[in-house]
Amino acid sequence: MKYLSLLLALLLLSACQTAPNIQQIEDENRALTAELDQAKHQIETLRVNESQLQAEVVELKRVMSVMDTEKTVRVRESSELRGQVRRFAQQNIDALRDFLVQSDLLDYVGGELVQRDNVDSESLLVVDLANPIPADGTLTGASAHFITPGHFTVQVLRPVDDQWVVIWQSETLQAPRAGVTRVNFPVSVGVQQGDYVGYFFHAGGLVSYSRGTGDTRYQQAPVRLGETVSTRRLKGEEEKRAYSVGVYGLLN
């Protein structure tokens, strides 16, 4: 009887402890179920948002494609119009230049185009200090009294402190024959008042010079576009050379 009472007491104690555990588990299950339902709802909301965003992306791509097409058309039309304007302007510039050349109305900057007593025996860079550009404008070509056919290059030099910077250089030009000849630049060049003009003769004997009537300095080494020419390194200050070469164009 004693053992039976003890067993019943243990069973009652166990039942009292198990009941709360079961209730706690059920509460936790309900909480997890609620969280799961909430997560499912959020996932569904995200799916809806994703679908909407994908639709917006598709629409944006369509709009961008239309805009690209329109832009391409506008660029092509604008390029064609600019090309037509440039061709029209260039044709008029060329026609005006030809008219001025034929009428001998272009401005000339340089030495007198006459036969002179001396010629160089080697290639030479000469800078005409006696004839700086007198006004802003555009140069369209060079002219010289050539002793023989040959090649030369024209450069525009701009003073900076005690040296000059080569700001423009023509293509290699060809003198087709001896005598006074004009050679047009393939592309005209703008110049400023105070610029100087240099000439690189690719071989000696191309253009003659005289002493005592000008101020043309020279050196054997050529210079390239963007490089500088030092006034101290140029020779010929005391010789006062004058070469039969110059440039022509439209000056203000």
Tokens of 129: 């200090």
By CB atoms closer than 10 A (0-12, 13-18, 19+), residue 226 is exposed
Q: How far apart are CA 35 and CA 37, in angstroms?
A: 5
Q: How far apart are CA 113 and CA 208, in angstroms?
A: 10
The DSSP element (H or E) to which 64 belongs, if any, is: helix 2-103
What's residue 176's pLDDT?
Answer: 93
What's residue 101's pLDDT?
Answer: 59
What's residue 97's pLDDT?
Answer: 62
Name the DSSP class of 171.
Answer: P
Q: Are 246 and 108 in contact (CB under 8 A)?
A: yes
User: Is residue 233 classed as helix, strand or coil in its secondary structure?
Assistant: coil
Tokens of 216: 């043309």
Mean pLDDT by 10 residues, the chain (252 residues): 56 53 79 82 85 84 82 79 79 68 76 94 96 94 96 96 92 95 92 97 95 95 92 91 95 88
Distances (CA, A) of 178 to 86, 175, 197, 200, 247: 35, 8, 22, 17, 17
Name the DSSP class of 172.
Answer: P
Going by DSSP bridges, is the β-strand pair 208-219/124-128 parallel, antiparallel, or unpaired?
Answer: antiparallel
Through-space distance between the first and last CA atoms of the chain, rounded to whole angstroms:
136
CATH code of the region 107-251:
2.60.120
| Domain spans of the chain, in order of start | 1-105, 107-251
Q: How far apart are CA 16 and CA 203, in angstroms?
A: 120
Going by DSSP bridges, is the β-strand pair 124-128/179-191 parallel, antiparallel, or unpaired?
Answer: unpaired
Name the DSSP class of 170.
Answer: P
Q: pTM to 2 decimals?
A: 0.62
What's residue 87's pLDDT?
Answer: 81
